[in-house]
Amino acid sequence: MKHFLFSSALAVSVWFTVASVQSQTNLPAAAPAVPVAANQAVPGLEKHIKPVLAALKLTDAAQSAKVHDFLAAQLQALQVWHQANDAHIKPLWNQFSKARSAQNVTNSAAALAQLDAIYATFKPQHDQFLANLGTVLTPAQVETVKDILTVNKVSVTYHVYLQIFPTMTDAQKAVVLADLKAAREQAIDCESMVEKSEFFKKYKIQIEDVYLTAQGFNPKQARKDFANQSKAAAE
């Protein structure tokens, strides 16, 4: 987690170049979602469903069964979608990582634009899944499901930033939280932890470099200081 939070970042100007390259992307069509019959077993997916149901602690059997079926359908559709798109996705993440390491803002922005466009093809299924959950769960419970599917990265990251930015105003904190929630909406549909982390890193760039600098902090020094504090606390 520390490596995820404090790894090197792209220049903030990436945000202004993504839109310009988006229209140039030539992408494959997403694979159609595969429906899952009620109570049908989905091999290999139960391990992802179990922690969600455990966290929700539902006492109504019918409600729990519906949530299970919604999760099974979503995870199977996501699996099919990734099978159809990973041949394009994985090379783009490699391009993004290499360009970011080389501080090549143009190339990293181009890779991100293409990735954003590919993941957007799954958005209709994603939105329908959340709408389905909303018919049987409260808004707070739906938020819990989102956090579990992204390994609670939003809540963990947000609390860390609140420690780094003690002088941030409520309005600034609200913007940070909104950015992190936007990252979570994309990360939910990522199949690997590497992909999930990369989507959060996009927003980390803006949060650290913009907000810290605006408050008179040196972003690199702030990251170093926090890492040292975390290390000392763990000893």
* Structural domain span for residue 93: 14-149
Q: d(Cα 30, Cα 12) in Å, to the nearest integer?
A: 30
Entry pTM: 0.66
- Total residue length of the chain: 235
CB 215 within 8 A of CB 161: no
Query: Are 36 and 231 a contacting pair, CB within 8 Å?
Result: no
Residue 125: inside a domain = yes
Q: Which among 127, 149, 171 is the end of a domain?
A: 149
At residue 17, φ and ψ (nearest 5 deg) are -105, -15
Instruction: Let me know if residue 54 belongs to a domain.
Output: yes
User: What is the total count of domains within the chain?
Assistant: 2
pLDDT digits (tens, 9 = 90+) for 59-83: 999 999 999 999 999 999 999 999 9
Say if residue 66 is in the same domain as residue 102: yes
Q: Exposed, middle or buried by CB within 10 Å (0-12, 13-18, 19+), for 221?
A: exposed
Closest CA to 223 of 12, 8, 11: 8
Looking at the domain assignment, is residue 5 inside a domain? no
The one-letter code for the residue type at 232 is: A
Examine the domain organization and report whether 138 and 25 are in the same domain.
yes
Q: What is the pLDDT of residues 16-65, one digit of tens each?
A: 222 233 333 344 444 444 444 444 455 578 888 999 999 999 999 999 99
Digitized pLDDT (tens) for each residue of the chain, 235 residues in all: 333 333 322 222 222 222 233 333 344 444 444 444 444 455 578 888 999 999 999 999 999 999 999 999 999 999 999 999 999 999 998 898 888 778 787 888 898 889 989 999 999 999 999 999 999 999 999 989 998 888 766 666 666 666 666 667 788 777 777 877 888 888 899 888 878 888 887 777 666 666 667 767 776 776 677 667 766 766 6
